Amino acid sequence: MANFCLILAYDGTRYNGWQRQGNTSDTIQEKLENILEHLYGEPVEIHGSGRTDAGVHALRQVANYHVPRMLSRFSCQEIQTYFNQYLPLDIRVLSVSKADSRFHARLSAESKIYEYRIDCGPIANIFNRRYLYRIEEPLNPQKMQEAASYLIGTHDFKSFCANRHMKKSTVRTIYDISFELVDGILYIRYCGDGFLYHMVRILTGTLIEIGMGDLLPTQLPTILESQNRALAGFTAPAQGLFLVEVHYPEAGE
What percent of the chain clears pLDDT 90, i.e. is strictly above it?
91
Averaged pLDDT for residues 128-149: 96
- Model pLDDT, residue 134: 98
Q: What is the pTM of this model?
A: 0.94
Where are the strands (E) in 68-202, listed by range? Answer: 91-99, 111-119, 133-134, 153-156, 171-182, 185-192
Angle, CA 75 vertex, CA 31 and CA 48 arms, to 5° = 35
User: What does the pLDDT read at residue 73?
Assistant: 86
Residue 252 has pLDDT above 70, yes or no: no
Catalytic annotation, pick one of 53, 90, 100, 156: 53
CATH class of 2-107: alpha beta
Render pLDDT for 62-95 as a digit per residue (tens, 0 to 9). Answer: 999 999 988 878 999 999 999 999 999 999 999 9
**pLDDT tens sequence across 23-44:** 777 999 999 999 999 999 999 9
Domains 2-107 and 111-247 share a fold: yes
Spatial contact of 100 and 34, defined as CB atoms under 8 Å apart: no
pLDDT of residue 30: 96
For domain 111-247, give the CATH number: 3.30.70.660
Give me the pLDDT at residue 253, please: 38
Indicate if 53 belongs to the active site: yes
| Distances in whole angstroms, Cα of residue 23 to Cα of each of 19, 50, 138, 140, 162 | 12, 20, 41, 42, 21
* In the chain, where the domains are located: 2-107, 111-247
The angle formed by the CA atoms of residues 71, 75 and 77, to the nearest 5 degrees, is 140
2: enclosing H helix or E strand: strand 2-10
DSSP codes of every residue in 24-85: BS--HHHHHHHHHHHHHSS---EEESS-PPTT-EEEEEEEEEEE-GGG--S-HHHHHHHHHH
* Predicted pLDDT at 165: 79
pLDDT per residue over 152-206, tens digit each?
A: 999 999 999 998 877 789 999 999 999 999 999 999 999 999 999 999 999 999 9
Q: Per-residue pLDDT for 103 more than 60?
A: yes
- In angstroms, the CA 214 to CA 112 distance is 29
